[in-house]
Amino acid sequence: MDVKENNEELVREVLFTEKQVNQAADRCAEWLGGIIKTQRGVLVFYMLEGCRTFAQMLEKRLLRAGIEKELIPIRTSSYQETTQSSEVVNIEDDHIQKDQIKGKTVVLIDDILDTGGTMSSLRKRMLEYGAAKVQICVLIERDIERDVNIKADMAGLKTQRKEYLAGVGLDYKGLLRELPYIAAIE
């Protein structure tokens, strides 16, 4: 794919290389595998659209480690086509059997933990459905003060940078999801 097709002219700086992203996915998969192996009936959810790529990376690594686990997608959106989080996080979970969540450990996977709005809404929802415990794993966590009280239990990468990020599933106005590295955009 050439630079133009990839919209790489929008990239201000490469923050994490493809190699660093792969190593981060290795660490997250190891963490997740540990939870799946040691706790009964763990449910793992990941958030569409951005986290599809990271979820695939995790699934591939789990399989390599001999762990076959279905990661269940949930569609959430708060940024729509903008770079600003909206107050309201849309959670589409009609396809999920709520009664199966009761008493279980739930792992929530996402590509980025930024303001924490998305994760905290989903964690609240899972606790309402009776989850015994909610664990959070993200590819990248912004290491910042947040209005909401939330932190990843496992973050593959951390950054204190303030710019909007793209790549490895994260989009910038619908673009750049395909980049194999994490870039600072604006």
Ligand X SMILES: Nc1nc2[nH]cnc2c(=O)[nH]1
Ligand Y SMILES: O=P(O)(O)OC[C@H]1O[C@H](OP(=O)(O)OP(=O)(O)O)[C@H](O)[C@@H]1O
Which span sits near ligand Y by CB under 6 A: 26-34, 58-66, 76-84, 99-107?
Answer: 76-84
List C-alpha distances in Å: 106 to 112, 165, 172, 178: 18, 27, 29, 28
174 class by beta-carbon count within 10 Å (0-12 exposed, 13-18 middle, 19+ buried): exposed
113 binds, among ligand Y, ligand X, none (CB under 5 to 8 A by kind): ligand Y
Output phi, psi for 83, to 5 deg: -110, 15
List residues binding ligand X (CB under 6 A): 79, 112, 114, 164-166, 170-172
117 lies in the binding site for ligand Y (CB under 6 A): yes
The count of residues interacting with ligand Y (CB under 6 A) is 20
Q: Show contacts with ligand Y in window 38-57 (CB under 6 A).
A: 47, 49-51
Minimum gap (Å) between residue 47 Cβ and ligand X = 10
Is the Cβ of residue 101 or residue 140 nearer to ligand X in the bound state? Answer: 140
Binding mask 78-97 for ligand Y (x = CB under 6 A): xx-----x------------
135 binds, among ligand X, ligand Y, none (CB under 5 to 8 A by kind): none
On the CB side of 137, CA atoms within 13 Å amount to 26
What 3-state class would DSSP assign to 94? coil
CA dihedral 144, 27, 104, 131 (to 10 degrees): 10
Note whether 152 and 136 are within 8 A (CB).
Answer: yes
Where on the chain is the footprint of ligand Y (CB under 6 A)? 47, 49-51, 76-79, 85, 110-119, 171
